[in-house]
Amino acid sequence: MLRQAILHVSMAVILAATAGFAADADALVKQLNGMNLSDPASIGGVEKIIAENGDAGGLYLLKSVLHVKHGETLAGMNCLRIAVNCQLIVDGPILKFTREKLDEYIKESQDKNLDHELGGLLVIRSVALLVAKDMQSAMADLNLAEQKFPRLPEVYNTRGICRHVLGDEKNALEDYDKAIQLNPNYADAFGNRAGLYKRMGDDEHAKRDRIRYVMLLNRLYGMSAGELNADDESPPPESKNASGAGKK
C-alpha cells in the first residue's frame, strides 16, 4: 500500500533523493538498452524488471515516460506518483538513462508538434529536475507544459511545489487551487495545499484540506485515519527530516 508520500509528488520527491546507486543498476541499464522502447510492449518489459528487482523510483519514472509516450497519459501520471513514493537516486544510472530518454522524446514531441504528449513528458522531466534540486529548470518545463497541455492537473500541482519550495506562497496557492479545480478528487494537491496553508498560519483551511486529503486517500488506497492523522501537519520542505522519506 502506498503511504503518506502519495502527497509527495511534492516535498518528498526533493527530500527523499539519495546519492549513490545499487550495485546492479548498471546491469539493469544494459537490460533496458536491449529493449525496443518504441514498442508499447516495452511497458510490460519494464514491469517485469520492476517485479524482479523490487521498487525503484527510476524504473517507475521510466515506466511513466513510456505510458505517456504511447498515449496513456493518465497511466503515466499515476505511475509518476508511485515513482516518487520510491527511493529516487540522484546520480544513479537508471535515473540518468530515464533522463536521456525524456530529453530524446521531448525533442521528438516538439519537432512533431505533439502537444498532448509533450505536456505529460515535461511534467515527468520536471520531477526529475526537482530531484536534482534544479528548481528553475523545473519551472521552465512546467510553464511550457501549461502552454501545451493546460488541462493537465499535474502541471499545476508540480509547479505549486516548485513555488512552495522557492517561497512564492501566493502563486503556489493559485497553482494548487487550479489543480483542484481541474480534478476535485486530486489527493496530492489537497495534501500539498494543506501544508502550504499550515505554513501560512491558516490552520482552519489547512485542517479542512487535510481532512479532504485523508478521505481521498482512504477512498483510493484504503488508508485510514489511523495510518494518516487528519490533524498532522505536512511540514514545509526546508524543515522536514529527509531520513527514510520516500520508502514504503
Domain count, the chain: 1
Instruction: Check whether 169 has a pLDDT greater than 60.
Output: yes
Domain that includes residue 124, residue range: 4-221
Does residue 47 lie within any of the structural domains? Answer: yes
Residue among 105, 34, 22 at smallest CA distance from 58: 22
Closest by CA position to 92, among listed 132, 139, 137, 42: 132
What the block records as the C-alpha cell of 163 is 513555488
What nine digits make up the cell of 66?
513510456
pTM of the model: 0.80
**CATH code assigned at 48:** 1.25.40.10
Q: Which three cell numbers stand for residue 158?
A: 508540480
Residue 54: per-residue pLDDT? 67
Query: Given this model, what pLDDT does residue 170 score?
Result: 96
Asked whether residue 131 is assigned to any structural domain, the reply reads yes
Model confidence over 194-242: pLDDT tens digits? 999 999 999 999 999 999 999 998 887 665 444 444 344 443 333 232 2
Domain membership flag for residue 232: no
In a domain, 158, yes or no: yes
Residue 62 has pLDDT above 90, yes or no: yes
Domain for residue 130, yes or no? yes
Q: Tell me the β-bridge partners of 18.
A: 89
117 occurs within a structural domain? yes
In a domain, 140, yes or no: yes
Q: Evaluate whether residue 243 is within a structural domain.
A: no
